Amino acid sequence: MDFSTLTVLCVGDVMLDRFLYGEMERISPEAPVPVLLLRDRREMPGGAGNVASNILSLGARAILIGLVGDDDAALTLRETLRQRVGVTDMLVTSRRRPTICKTRYIASHQQVVRADEESRLKLQPEEAELLCRAIDARLDEANVVILSDYGKGVCDAMVVHHLIGEARLRGIPIFVDPKTSHFRHYRGATCITPNARELATAAALPVSTDAEVEGAARKVMKEAEADVILATRSEKGMMLIPASGEAVAIPARAREVFDVSGAGDTVIATMALGVASGMPWPEAMRVANAAAGVVVAKLGTATADIHEVMRELAAEDAPVVSPHLLTRDAALRQVEAWKSQGLKVGFTNGCFDILHPGHVSLLAAARAECDRLIVALNDDDSIRRLKGPTRPVNTLASRATVMTAIRHVDALVSFAEDTPLETIRALLPDVLIKGADYAPEDVVGATDVIAAGGRLFLADLQDGHSTTATIGRIRTD
């Protein structure tokens, strides 16, 4: 599965997603509201910008067209795009409206409040004309088009009809994530990807069963003159309904869901790339379903990279997934790819011989400090030198297999040396994580990470859990 030769034209409502993190320590003396002491912030492209981020994560290139204001939020948004190698910024500046910005205040991993900045002004003719010019300037470079409608004004009739008409003339498929309840607004689209609620509203029909979903999809498909409807159904999975041929449904893979934010963006990005690469429609849906399974297991608006999707697909095909231990060079390429997307990379290491709640707690705390976590495992000889000739209990391959199943872990690498210092120096993560039983000056690699602009985080450990104690209890029994 290789999307590296593909370019996607993304058109739609672009926004800046801003996350402000802090701690609530007291109630304000001015009013009965909590005071949030801010300690960190993250900013990333949202809306159609998140679709573009998903395209990059999957290995393709994106051209992003949308509307921004003449303001600081636009400058920040453009800077986040500039840091994402592979995105072409074709945003149109308007002096009539601010850049759409969603600011989320978060304390103790919970969203406290969200503040939205946007204009309700209808798209103006001159703005529509500029958007259409941007489309004409770059459409010939695209293998596939995604129209991402968030109902914020960009996807008005003039822009939508122009985009679909021009793409059709060139034989370029058009995928639409709808917002309006009248799908004829997207007349001529190749594929429309409503969720169950959107489909029910557009068709004015129930969608509880497979038969009802298919009936509703065929009704709106006829109105929109679309080729395919892909209905996303949360825990029920997806259903693909082509204009000619039988509908195909697949279930969602059972897993713990943490956040559905951005899952629709991931689905449409993966589906469009799959079809553009030559996959049959049902196979593209299967890949999109796997990608959605990856992102809903993450907190916040997230993306799924190609390696995560392939691991998810492998997990569907076999009860036990063969672990994929990256070489140090491959791990470096992965870290560089994540950083190019503006993601913070965390690193921790250990033997992880017999996995216990203390390990899981450490990994969860580590993943909370970064966007992607890479774990370095001592190889078997390294553990024997460290722990003695009776260890490890489990081989490196076995330990990697277990670690692969831990949702907090995004990539694995092993090291043969007594310490992971060389691996840390090669990868230079943004955050180095160890347990709070270490003193900062004793953490291997901390000096190198901090000197490179990173930081050290010492995670609290759960008391009463250790591999040595577990082995001791087994021997006693």
Q: Known catalytic residues?
A: 265
50 labelled ligand-binding: no
Is residue 198 a known part of a binding site?
A: yes
Give the CA-trace dihedral at 53, 57, 59, 62, to 10 degrees.
0
Residue with token string 């498929």: 173
Residue 261 has, within 13 A of its CA and on its CB side, a CA count of 13
What angle do helix axes 196-203 and 210-224 make, rounded to 10 degrees? 60
Is residue 145 within 8 A of residue 8, CB to CB? The reply is yes
* β-pairing verdict for 67-69 and 174-177: unpaired
Rounded to 5, what percent of the chain is helix, strand, coil? 40, 25, 35
- One DSSP character per residue, 406-457 reads -TT--EEEEE-SSSSHHHHHHH--SEEEEETTS-GGGSTTHHHHHHTT-EEE
Q: Which amino acid is at 392?
A: P
Q: Which amino acid is at 44?
A: M
246, 377, 440 from 436: Cα distances, Å? 57, 19, 9
Report the C-alpha gap between 236 and 230 in whole angstroms.
13
Query: Hey, which residues does 350 pair with through a beta bridge?
Result: 377
- Max CA distance (Å), the chain: 80
Stretch (H or E) spanning 286: helix 281-295
Phi, psi (degrees; rounded to nearest 5) at 256: -75, 130
Alpha carbon 27 to chain centroid, angstroms:
35
Q: What are phi and psi of 303, to 5 degrees?
A: -125, 165
How many whole angstroms separate alpha carbon 359 and alpha carbon 362?
5
Please give the Cα distance from 202 to 73 (Å, whole number): 34
Cα–Cα distance between 314 and 319 in angstroms, integer?
9
Dihedral of alpha carbons 375, 286, 219, 212, sign: negative
User: 196 labelled as ligand-binding?
Assistant: yes
Is 284 annotated in a binding site? The answer is no
Burial class of residue 144, CB neighbours in 10 A (0-12, 13-18, 19+): buried
CA dihedral 140, 146, 151, 154 (to 10 degrees): -10
Residue ranges for the binding site?
Answer: 195-198
Residue ranges for the binding site for ATP?
Answer: 195-198
